[in-house]
Amino acid sequence: MSTAKISTLLASPALKWAAGGWTFFILENLILSENRTYLITKLGDDGYHYFYGALSTTAMGTVGYAYLRKVRAAAPLLWNVGGPVPRGAMMASFALNALGLGMASQSFPKLQIPVALVNVSAEESDGGAAPSVMGPSSPQQVATATAPSRAWKVRCPFDFTDSRAQTGTNDSGTGAADIHGLDRITRHPGLWAFGILGLGNALLVPSLPQRVWLSMPLMVAWIGGAHTDSRHRRGMGGQLRPELDSVTSNVPFWAMLNGSQGNVGKALMDFGGEVKGLNAAIATGAAAMWVLRRGRGKAPAFVR
């Protein structure tokens, strides 16, 4: 990006709108949640939540107004509005969208193909009745009669019995955290998935103020997640147990890569074994289709 474009961006009123609404949202959440106890004593529990809700609604209204009226397609531009997205930006966008959608997909029940080829014993295939054998039978005959066969079975497309992605404490009596799934990546997977998706989609638009607006949810995840952890460590509005705090992180993958979860290679392999594969595959496919569709460009739109 050229120095001229940076100067134009910094002087652009659209930039102030792009960052201002999100900054208001972050600050009001930080201030109100940090002073939660004091405000509840003054306003009461219901009054605090009404006040919190009113300010958050106002902040998000500002965010939405900024995007629709001030930021979308606003100059300065990196390429023509409606033009094709550069290949490098598309590749980076795909990686980020696949990661964000992949993280989001892991919060849903495990998907599975609704039909499967399973082993069925002779008794099951005969309606549960034992095979009738007249007279003495050889071991080969008995083995043939009871040998399992293969049959197609219809099953629910959601595997509600899969519990590998749940975090808890182990049963060793030590109280150590036994983490699984998304909790290996971050303590706030929903926030970070939203932020990463925003950043991925920011790369698909030519407007620099619009890119800033779309990237701001990443700041919400980083700052908001860190502040939530800080409050929970102090017992404000929740709990973050030290044994869980020591092996997880706010920033995605940091606890896995810095050795907090033990050997890095083993931590990555353990996580790979817990991933809901079909969920992740569908998310990756959706990310690819979205980026390819947006990357082709479309008819020129207005430019502010």
pLDDT digits (tens, 9 = 90+) for 282-299: 999 999 999 999 999 874
Q: Is 304 part of any domain?
A: no
Q: Is 300 part of any domain?
A: no
Q: Are residues 131 and 261 in the same domain?
A: no
Q: Are residues 123 and 25 in the same domain?
A: no
Q: What is the pLDDT of residue 7?
A: 75
Q: How confident is the model at residue 52 (pLDDT cuts 50, 70, 90)?
A: very high
Q: Are residues 21 and 101 in the same domain?
A: yes
Q: How confident is the model at residue 67 (pLDDT cuts 50, 70, 90)?
A: very high
Q: Are residues 236 and 216 in the same domain?
A: yes
Residues 233, 239, 245, 248: is their CA dihedral positive or negative? negative
CA distance 198 to 220: 11
Q: How confident is the model at residue 29 (pLDDT cuts 50, 70, 90)?
A: very high
Average pLDDT over residues 51-58: 95
Is the model's pLDDT at 304 over the cut of 90? no
Q: Are residues 139 and 83 in the same domain?
A: no
277's enclosing H/E stretch is helix 277-295
Is the model's pLDDT at 169 over the cut of 50? no
Q: What is the pLDDT of residue 134?
A: 47
Average pLDDT score, the chain? 85
Q: Are residues 62 and 177 in the same domain?
A: yes
Q: How confident is the model at residue 3 (pLDDT cuts 50, 70, 90)?
A: confident
Average pLDDT over residues 239-257: 95
Q: Are residues 44 and 173 in the same domain?
A: yes
Segments forming the whole domain that contains residue 145: 115-154
Is the model's pLDDT at 148 over the cut of 80? no
Q: What is the pLDDT of residue 110?
A: 82
Q: How confident is the model at residue 8 (pLDDT cuts 50, 70, 90)?
A: confident
Q: Are residues 229 and 132 in the same domain?
A: no
Q: What is the pTM of this model?
A: 0.81
Is the model's pLDDT at 185 over the cut of 90? yes
Is the model's pLDDT at 255 over the cut of 50? yes
Cis previous bond, 76, omega within 30: yes
Residues of the chain above pLDDT 90, percent: 68
Q: Which of 54-68, 154-168, 190-204 has the lowest mean pLDDT?
A: 154-168
Give the residue from 154, 184, 213 where a domain finishes.
154
Instruction: Please report how the helices 3-10 and 208-233 are oriented relative to each other, as an axis angle in degrees rounded to 10.
Output: 70
Q: What is the pLDDT of residues 119-143, one digit of tens each?
A: 765 555 555 554 444 455 555 554 5
Give the residue from 95, 124, 154 where a domain finishes.
154
Average pLDDT over residues 167-171: 49
Q: Is 303 part of any domain?
A: no
Q: Is 242 part of any domain?
A: yes
Q: Are residues 129 and 167 in the same domain?
A: no
Q: Are residues 275 and 291 in the same domain?
A: yes
In whole angstroms, how far apart are CA 198 and each of 55, 174, 216? 23, 40, 8
Q: How many domains does the chain have?
A: 2
Average pLDDT over residues 67-94: 95
Q: Are residues 147 and 291 in the same domain?
A: no
Q: Are residues 130 and 238 in the same domain?
A: no
Average pLDDT over residues 148-172: 61
Residues 179, 181, 185, 186: is their CA dihedral positive or negative? negative
Q: What is the pLDDT of residue 56?
A: 95
CA distance 105 to 278: 9
Q: How confident is the model at residue 87 (pLDDT cuts 50, 70, 90)?
A: very high
Give the residue from 154, 172, 204 where a domain finishes.
154
